[in-house]
Structures are given as C-alpha cells and as structure tokens.
Amino acid sequence: MAAYGLYTHIRKNRRRSVLLLVGLFFLVYLMTFAGALLGRAFTEQAPVDYLVARAWNDMIVAAPLVTIGTVIWIVIAYKYHQVLIDVLTGGREVTRTEQPRLYNLLENLCISRGIAMPKLKVMDNAALNAFATGMNEKQYSITVTTGLLDRLDDAETEAVLAHELTHIRNGDVRMMVIAVIIAGVISFVAELFFRVMFRSSARWGGSSSSGNNRKGGGAGAAILLAVVIIAVAWALSIVIRFALSRTREYLADAGAVELTKNPDAMIMALRKIEGRGELPGVTSSVMEMCVDNPREGFADLFATHPSIESRVEALVRMAGGHDPGPLALEEPEDQTTPEESGTEEEAAASEQTSQAPSQPQRPAGPWNPVETATRGPWGQGGN
C-alpha cells in the first residue's frame, strides 16, 4: 500500500501541469479570435470568409498583448491565490500555542517523512472538510474546518492531515491550482465577450435592415460562428478541470494509510465526513480541492471526487480496514440552543445577584458596635 512514493503518478502530474498551461494559452487565443470575429461582424458587412480572414489577422496582431495579459494573470494567481482563498473561506493561520493538538499531529507526520511542514490554517465552519493549496514549498498550506476538529478524534484528524500531505507530495495541489486559474481566465474572458456582444446587439440590430441590403452580407453567420467558438472554449475549460483523474483521491487515501499505518482511522474519517463536507458560500473551485466534494444525481457525472462509498471499499479491499458503514454523528457536547443559552445566562446572573451582599459587614467588637455584633460585655447586646 505504498502509494505515497508513486513517482510515476508524480511525473504524470508534472506533465499534466505543463499541458494545462499550454491548454490555457490555446483557449485564450481561441477566445481572442472569437472576440475579433464578433468585432468584425458588428462593424462590417461582408462574406463570412472575408470576416474570418480579417479576424484571424486581428488575432495575430493582438496575440502579443493577449500573451502578456495571460502571463500577468498567471503571475498574480501564482503569488496571491492563497490570499484570495483565505478571503473567500475565512481561513486563518494558527500556531502551536493556538492549536497544539492539530499542530503536533501535522508536525509529527512531516518529521516522520522528512517533509517541510506546510502552513496550518483553521476555517471557522461547522462542515467537516479540509483542503491543501499552494504552488511551491513556501506556499503550501493545509486548512481544516473547526467542525472537523470537533467531530474527529486524534487518529482520524491525523489521517485527514496525511491525506492532504499526500496531495502536496504527489503534485495534485499544484495541478488543481493551475486548473482553477484556467477556469478563472476563461470565465472572465467569456463573460466579457458576451457582455460586449449583448451591448452591441441593439446598435447592430438597429442598422441591420440597411446592412442586409449590402451585397454579400455574412455578419449573422460570423456572429453565430463566434458564439460557437466561445461555447466550445468554455466547454473545453470544463473538460480540462474534470479530466483530472479521480484516482488522485484513491492515491491520497492510500498515502494517508501508508503515513499513519492506520487504515481504520482513514475509513472512520471518511465516514464521518460523508454528507457533511459542503462549505456554504465557497466556490466549486475550492470544493474541488477538499477531502470530499459531495455531489448527487446528475451532478455526480461532473464530480471531481469518487464517492465516499467507493473510496472506503478500496481501503477495505487493499488495506484491510474495517468499514462501520454510514455514521450518524451526535451534536458536540459544548453546543447549546439559543433558548438553553439564555436560560443558563439568566440563572447565573440570578445566582450572582442573590449571593452579592448589599453592604460590606465589619467585624463585631468593642470598637465596632454594630447591630450584628455578638452579645458580650463589650457589645450592645450585653447592656
């Protein structure tokens, strides 16, 4: 079950990362051509072949600027993608003092394999999930939700951390970040083109009656061709993201078992996470990096993760673990309802009020003749 050192998988991921970057530039050039074709179709009435030829020339002229813009986008994403993810998820970096249990578990795993320890972050969310991000050793980080920390014991939490460490070691994290960059670029360009097209459609439609009288008008066909190209580019960007092999999750699970020598902990962690991993308000791009990305029905056709059931079956078959089946988790003990919380606060306030003395009492004696003094030869009660 030594999946952690699968150098073949690592080499494949490196090649895929390069191919993804090449594919990014290809899709950007394709979108540029579609934009140039739209521009020609909105401003000229000519045969389709003429408009396509002019649009091709426009793309060649614009290619250097488009290349520079794409490189700038990649550099920004390379440097600041973690900041953007932290803003989106609310993840914050923690130290050993703040999270000694979590920090020690991760540190021990890294020491056992001689791995540089990634940054450790915690996300305030009741969902049970975790994910790793980063493009190089200085950027790698693992983010864990507070819900996962509350529901999983040490062995299970260690298995989840080992799972994410395996993703980092195997190059999955770098490849996923590049895929997210591609999706971001294509989405931005596609939205920009469609906005320009719809804003220009009114002006173009108003003059279409006179333009259609021109001989050889092919603007309509050119627009249709441009829309098809943009749709194809969009579809290819989706295919690129979902073409990333689902086997990376099986390998990460196996790597976690190899690191911890505890298949039951990984199985129990997956069973507890099952159906409880959805992060509200988080984009699909981030969910694709998580331990589990729950999808059901038709959406499962485009899922980036195999089902928990199939992953558990693989661990039982290959590592000899025990499957307890789907689990029903109880609420954490420290969780109380608003009504209970209000009742407890009122009771505490009432108790403090009843116990607080109205005035400080002085000790009784010959120099402090107060009403509460005990009877004696020096007190008032002795008279």
Catalytic residues: 164
Helical (H) or strand (E) element with 56: helix 48-89
Angle of helix 308-319 relative to helix 263-273, nearest 10 degrees, comes to 170
If we measure between CA atoms, which residue out of 207, 226, 227 comes closest to residue 217? 207
CB 41 within 8 A of CB 222: yes
Give Cα separations from 284 to 14, 85, 140, 176, 200 (angstroms): 23, 12, 20, 12, 31
Burial of 332 (0-12, 13-18, 19+ CB in 10 A): exposed
Angle of helix 154-170 relative to helix 7-43, nearest 10 degrees, comes to 70
Task: Collect all residues with Cβ–Cβ distance below 8 Å to 177 and sequence separation of at least 6.
Answer: 77, 81, 133, 134, 135
Task: Collect all residues with Cβ–Cβ distance below 8 Å to 195 and sequence separation of at least 6.
Answer: none
Q: Left if phi > 0, otherwise alpha if psi is -120 to 50, otherwise beta: which for 364?
A: beta
Distance of alpha carbon 373 from alpha carbon 291, whole angstroms: 72
Distance of alpha carbon 190 from alpha carbon 31, whole angstroms: 7
DSSP string for residues in 161-210: HHHHHHHHHHTHHHHHHHHHHHHHHHHHHHHHHHHHHHHHHHHHHHTHHH
Angle of helix 172-206 relative to helix 219-242, nearest 10 degrees, comes to 160
- Taken as a whole, the chain contains a residue count of 383
Distance of alpha carbon 20 from alpha carbon 241, whole angstroms: 9
Query: To 10 degrees, the CA torsion angle through 279, 285, 289, 295?
Result: 60
R_g (Cα) of the chain, nearest Å = 32
Task: Collect all residues with Cβ–Cβ distance below 8 Å to 348 and sequence separation of at least 6.
Answer: none
